[in-house]
Amino acid sequence: MSINSPITQKVLPLVARAEPDELSLWCEHLSQALAPTHTVKLLAELSVDECQAAEVAIVANPDPKDLQSLPNLKWVQSLWAGVEHMAAELPQDGPAIVRMIDPQMANTMSEAVLAWTLYLHRDMPRYAKQQSTKIWREHALELPSDRTVTVLGLGNLGKRSALRLKANGFTVCGWSRSAKTIEGVETHSGADGLAKVLSKTDIAVLLMPLTDDTRGLINEQALAHMPKGASLINFARGPIIDDTALIAALDSGQINHAVLDVFASEPLSESNPYWSHPSVTVLPHISAPTIHSTAAKIVAENVAAFAQTGKVPESVDRQRGY
């Protein structure tokens, strides 16, 4: 999308539902990265004129009502990569939503994908269970090349993760909405492609956005396509998995182990069965947190490019939902 006039905005509002400590940390990093051309202020600190002049705002889980006080907003820069709440809450004809696309986040995510794939590959959950009952028993070791790890979602995070798994000797497949070519990775797309790729997958890594199409995608049928004893890593969004189906598949042994970093409701409630399930590793949404310093630089680059060209950076396709 292109915009006719270059902006004169000097103050960037930060609109976020976050703890005060988190907000001041962001203000500090963003102010440093955006100086000397722009300053960053919390919405409540903006004058009426500054609200009027705002064509860009920096956001993290913003209250849509807060954005209404910025009548000339053209785009919002999210500090997060996942924007499904914002995409659902903001009007379709509202400001363009620019996601956080940070190469450092892709590196951090690929590190987490490799770490937890190795955890499953080297049977760590099984040895931990054995230790808890003082069992000394070794199990045959498989080569990484004998394990097929499939990355579902081959975007900014998924592609880097697939390449890192490949570099570590795994047999890697990938699946995305549109067809992709990635050297050394067997790629699939579409609904048929999903069933086909799951049928040969030992470890599935979820890295696609939550949209109308992906909600509940990993259901009883999808889990049944996987070979018995396969495992799952969810680093994307909780509602992509049908929890009832996953728990049934874990109980029956269809799925051997699930590493879950994201949940339908976070923080996970004390009564949630995942906490105590013997075949589940619960992580508190930590696989790839936004790094303040590198993310602030991405924001500064996008803002500077917009100031120069008047072009809104690549934004979320509101129809597609990501």
Region 147-166 residues binding ligand NAP, contact defined as CB under 6 A: 153-158
Q: At its nearest, how many Å lie between ligand NAP and the CB of residue 207?
A: 5
CA distances from residue 293 to 22, 27, 33, 185, 274 in whole angstroms, order as listed = 13, 11, 8, 32, 34
Active site residue 285: yes
Q: 147, 168 in Cβ contact below 8 A?
A: no
Q: 86, 211 in Cβ contact below 8 A?
A: no
Locate tokens 């497949």: which residue? 173
Q: How far is CA 248 from the centre of its chain?
A: 26
Residues 6+ apart with CB under 8 A from 118: 168
Work out whether 176 is an interface residue with ligand NAP (CB under 6 A): yes
C-alpha span between 80 and 76 (Å, rounded): 11
Work out whether 238 is an interface residue with ligand NAP (CB under 6 A): no
The single residue among 225, 285, 292, 318 that binds ligand NAP, judged by CB under 6 A, is 285
Nearer to ligand NAP, 42 or 101 (CB): 101
Work out whether 236 is an interface residue with ligand NAP (CB under 6 A): yes
Nearer to ligand NAP, 207 or 268 (CB): 207
Number of residues interacting with ligand NAP: please give it, by CB under 6 A: 27
The single residue among 90, 98, 114, 288 that binds ligand NAP, judged by CB under 6 A, is 288
Active site residue 237: yes
C-alpha span between 180 and 92 (Å, rounded): 28
CA contacts within 13 A on the Cβ side of 301 = 12
DSSP 43: G
Residues 6+ apart with CB under 8 A from 204: 149, 150, 152, 198, 218, 226, 230, 231, 232, 233
Work out whether 111 is an interface residue with ligand NAP (CB under 6 A): no
Q: At its nearest, how many Å lie between ligand NAP and the CB of residue 116?
A: 11
Indicate the helix (H) or strand (E) that contains 59: strand 56-60
DSSP 218: B
Q: Which residues pair with 254 in a beta bridge?
A: none
The single residue among 64, 82, 216, 310 that binds ligand NAP, judged by CB under 6 A, is 82
Nearer to ligand NAP, 9 or 201 (CB): 201
Work out whether 4 is an interface residue with ligand NAP (CB under 6 A): no
Q: Which residue number has the CB closest to ligand NAP? A: 155
Binding pattern to ligand NAP, positions 8-37, x when CB under 6 A?
Answer: ------------------------------
Contact positions vs ligand NAP (CB under 6 A): 81-82, 153-158, 176-178, 207-211, 213-214, 235-237, 261-262, 285, 287-288, 322
Which residues form the catalytic set? 237, 285
